Amino acid sequence: MPHVPGRHDAEIERLFGAGGPLGPAVGSYRPRRSQTEMAKAVAQAIAEQQTLIAEAGTGTGKTFAYLVPALLWGGKTIVSTGTKNLQDQLFLRDIPTVRAALQAPVSVALLKGRSNYVCHYHLERTLQNGRMTSRDDVGHLREISRFLKMTSSGDKAELARVPENAMIWNLVTSTRENCMGAECQYYQDCFVMKARKEAQQADVVVVNHHLFFADVALKDTGVAELLPSANTIIFDEAHQLPDTATLFFGDTFSTSQVLELCRDVLAEGLAHARDGADWGKTVTVVEKAARDLRLTFPQDIVRLSLPQIAPSSDFFPALQTLKDELDGLIAVLDTQAIRAETLEQCRVRGVELAQQLAAWKYDPKAKVDKGEEAVFWVEAYTMSLQLHKTPLSIAPIFNGQREGVPRSWIFTSATLAVKNDFSHFANQMGLTNELSMSWPSPFNYEQQGILYVPQGLPDPNSIGYTDAVLDKALPVIEAAGGKTFVLCTTLRAVKRAAERLRDEFAKRHLPFPLFVQGDKGRTELLDQFRKAGNGVLIGSQSFWEGVDVRGDALSLVIIDKLPFAPPDDPVLAARIEVMEKQGMNGFMHHTLPEAIINLKQGAGRLIRDEGDRGVLMLCDPRVISKPYGRRIWQSLPSFKRTREQDDVLAFFRDKDAQPALPEA
């Protein structure tokens, strides 16, 4: 769609141009036409309080393209990103850089969920109770006490010495359920309240998608107070929104929540009302009911929609037993809660869990609950069982959030369209008839890389498929000198690839360090991979996006299969059933576009810079053999394409030569 000249176009040309202020501020900055054009479109959407869906290819510099107009003309702006890491990067690096370059007098605040801030009350309680489970906890607790005296934000991201996933954080942060609110003796010093107050007063507030949607669902994150006054809302990494919103607009009840409640009731009952009840007996029957419910499914991991559970299953009577026993526990707490604030909190939690169970109304014959347009389904893990209620579509709920005050909404990502068609994303979010625009990457993909689809691979569902992929991959990994991401669609494939490559590297005396998802945290694995310079990293979904390895350390990305959603996903099955009743093709309208957007994310790991060169090895033969294959590779970057291994080996042999292959 052509850009209609906007009132800020001339100013944007000046700011993003060769002599503009961004050059000196960034150092390596060079004007890019697609970045300048995107900035104009964002400025116009802000000026006219419109919605804009903006896809910008890797390397466009979309962060600056939306920050410049937002900081100059956006008024009160909320920027929401995909992850807390990106949030920190925006707040600590990108926004200060742009603000200094523009000399824009805007105040900026960072707002995270309450579990990111140390809580004075819970830290003190933990220090007094000394309920430590390990020596690590004791050391971590000492670090956190010291940190509390020095920090002005209380944000745990500032304390790198204590790992983000350390168990101790649960004991020194608050939850919505156990926060004392204005009653708390530390209310004046509370870091959560301080962060919310700063966000209220700031011109630009940086949040993440989880926080944004948790707020819409729970009204407990401080975003609720921000929304009424916001003029501009920008979602970066917007392709993640449908999944994040579905998570928060749904409802999940877990047996592990019941077991945690029982543990706390026992501790608090014995501490404050030892004579009030036989606490051991009171909680044991509830714990047994929760565990019995889990045991109604003998398998380790199960995902079933309600119609798939046989009416004669033990599941339904076991569910009723849990409801009854939980009511019994609440009845005891009703009589004792007055004796301690902590027992009252347990009572409130018990009542909330009972309400969640009661809301999990089900008609075993109906796939979808008609009144609420929701899917009811069960997920069993090794130790727990979850009951989910998931909305069939988030579009009506999200549209409800967008009604009211006129403001500008910007949705941006490198992957929102399927071959320049935005309808899949727009329909999921309820953004029909909104302006959507796309800007190409400035990278020269034809010169910088090859898309290689090997010949002779079996059907991706056949036994031994992962080994067949590795047979094809090994010579290419060797030619690349390591420097490889192996991206798998399942954890089972990750495990098999790790075993096999470990053996092969040893057998062939290949000096490539192996980094496997799950062995360490994602950030640590990536740091070590970058440092190694010749590593091979094997990962699944969490490495397909948000990972930036520039330069020579990554020269080969191998994708084992097209990332189709698992066919046993109950929510997907219900969504497709409804689409097909409306006369649409579920595969073409939902499953395929979803897989293409995912694949574009994985492919986007390869070329991150104008100097990068590399090979994208897509192993799934369906990209060639199926009629929909053309749609897939037409949505990928415009690499030269080949099916010949020799072309790829030659590409790696001759680092300086450009790939001169015929167009496929």
The domain locations on the chain are 9-112+194-246+394-439, 114-188, 249-391, 448-653
Residue 111, classed as helix, strand or coil, is coil
Higher pLDDT, 233 or 175: 233
Task: Name which CATH class applies to 9-112+194-246+394-439.
Answer: alpha beta
CA distance 280 to 277: 9
Residue type, 662: P
Distance, C-alpha 69 to centroid of its chain: 26
For residue 365, the model assigns a pLDDT of 55
- pLDDT-derived band at 661, boundaries 50, 70, 90: very low
Could you give the percent of the chain with pLDDT greater than 70?
A: 94
Neighbouring residues of 332: CB distance < 8 A, sequence distance ≥ 6: 276, 277, 282
For residue 341, the model assigns a pLDDT of 83
Using one digit for the tens of pLDDT, what is the confidence trace for 21-56? 887 777 777 889 999 999 999 999 999 999 999 999
Which of 137-151, 163-177, 439-453, 521-535 has the weakest average pLDDT? Answer: 163-177
Residue 254, classed as helix, strand or coil, is strand
* Strands 449-452 and 536-539, bridge-based pairing: unpaired
Compute the average pLDDT of residues 146-172: 88
CA distance 181 to 188: 10
For residue 660, the model assigns a pLDDT of 47
Neighbouring residues of 291: CB distance < 8 A, sequence distance ≥ 6: 255
Using one digit for the tens of pLDDT, what is the confidence trace for 442-457? 999 999 999 999 999 9
For residue 188, the model assigns a pLDDT of 93
Distance, C-alpha 244 to centroid of its chain: 7
Task: Report the chain's terminal Cα–Cα distance, integer Å.
Answer: 29
9-112+194-246+394-439 and 249-391: identical CATH topology: no
Which of 203-212, 396-405, 644-653 has the weakest average pLDDT? Answer: 396-405
Nearest C-alpha neighbor of 518 from the set 484, 545, 494, 553: 494
The total of other beta-carbon atoms located within 10 Å of residue 467's CB is 11
- Compute CA distances 607 → 483, 545, 612, whole Å: 13, 13, 6
- Please compute Rg for the chain using Cα positions: 27
The answer to whether residues 47 and 6 touch, using CB atoms and an 8 Å cutoff, is yes
- pLDDT-derived band at 503, boundaries 50, 70, 90: very high
For residue 534, the model assigns a pLDDT of 94
For residue 181, the model assigns a pLDDT of 82
Third-level CATH fold of 249-391? Fumarase C; Chain B, domain 1 (1.10.275)
**Residue 526 C-beta-side C-alpha neighbours within 13 Å:** 13
For residue 659, the model assigns a pLDDT of 46
For residue 663, the model assigns a pLDDT of 42
Angle at the Cα of 303 (from 297 to 305), degrees rounded to 5?
100
Could you give the percent of the chain with pLDDT greater than 90?
A: 59
The answer to whether residues 144 and 172 touch, using CB atoms and an 8 Å cutoff, is yes
What is the token pair recorded at 518? 């799950």
Angle at the Cα of 165 (from 415 to 113), degrees rounded to 5?
65
Chosen CATH of 448-653 out of 3.40.640.10, 3.40.50.300, 2.30.250.10, 1.10.3720.10: 3.40.50.300
For residue 640, the model assigns a pLDDT of 94
Distance, C-alpha 506 to centroid of its chain: 35
Neighbouring residues of 302: CB distance < 8 A, sequence distance ≥ 6: 378, 379, 380
Task: With residue 418 as reference, give the H or E element that holds it.
Answer: none
Compute the average pLDDT of residues 316-338: 94
Nearest C-alpha neighbor of 121 from the set 409, 437, 345: 345
For residue 1, the model assigns a pLDDT of 46
Q: Residue 576: pLDDT above 60?
A: yes
Compute the average pLDDT of residues 280-293: 95
Q: What ranges in 48-103 are assigned the alpha helix state H? A: 62-73, 84-89, 95-102
Q: Residue 644: pLDDT above 90?
A: yes
CA distance 563 to 596: 8
For residue 26, the model assigns a pLDDT of 76
When the pLDDT of each residue in the chain is averaged and rounded to a whole number, the result is: 89
Compute the average pLDDT of residues 413-437: 93
Exposed e or buried b per residue across 376-397, where buried means at least 16 C-beta atoms within 10 angstroms of its C-beta = bbbbbeeebbbbbbbbbbbbeb
* Strands 408-413 and 232-235, bridge-based pairing: parallel
For residue 153, the model assigns a pLDDT of 93
**Residue 184 C-beta-side C-alpha neighbours within 13 Å:** 21
Using one digit for the tens of pLDDT, what is the confidence trace for 196-231? 999 999 999 999 998 888 766 655 556 667 777 899
Exposed e or buried b per residue across 200-232, where buried means at least 16 C-beta atoms within 10 angstroms of its C-beta = eebbbbbbbbbbbbbbbeeebbbbeebbeebbb
CA distance 645 to 659: 13
